[in-house]
Structures are given as structure tokens and as C-alpha cells.
Amino acid sequence: MTPDALHHLLHEAAMAMAVGGGILVGSAALAGFLVAFLQSATQIQDQTLPLLAKIGTAAIILYWAFGALTAPLMAYTRLVFDFARLVP
């Protein structure tokens, strides 16, 4: 395996993780921000509310977009196995 091929594999792995994880983390962070904003506006100081909002948001995103989130991971897995066939 050449250094360019290894670089390509690592780049594809980073992109697959960024797409899959970025959507989940971004949506959970947005939900946490909105709950924190509402808590500061209403002066509710419950600490479990932001956590429940983040978990709920992540669960909803996974339910609705699981296929779209796993597509880059599946493409990367196929790419790795294709490279593995080429290595003597």
C-alpha cells in the first residue's frame, strides 16, 4: 500500500466520522442551547432538562436519518475492502 493510498483511506475515514457524528453532535448542541436559553428566560434551574433534550434529539435524528448517517460508513467499509483486495 502506497502512502497516497493510506492517506486517501484516512481522509475518507475522517470524512465518514465527521458526517455521521457532526449531524448528531450539532443537533444535540442546538437542542441544549435552546433549552439553556429557555431556562435562563424562565429561571428554571432543572439540570436534567438539557440532558433529556439532547438525548431525545439524538434519538429522533437517529430514527429519522439512520440510513443517511450510515451511508458514508458503508461506503468507507466498501472502499477499505476494495483496497484490501489490491494488497498482495
5-34: per-residue pLDDT in tens? 788 888 888 888 888 888 889 999 999 999
**Predicted TM-score (pTM) of this structure:** 0.70
- C-alpha distances in angstroms, 9 versus 42, 69, 79? 49, 19, 8
Query: What pLDDT is recorded for position 83?
Result: 79
- The answer to whether the CB of 39 falls within 8 A of the CB of 50 is yes
Mean pLDDT of the chain: 86
Domains of the chain, by residue range, sit at 3-86
* Rounded mean pLDDT, 44-67: 89
Q: Does the structure show a pLDDT above 90 at 76?
A: no
Q: Does the structure show a pLDDT above 90 at 56?
A: yes
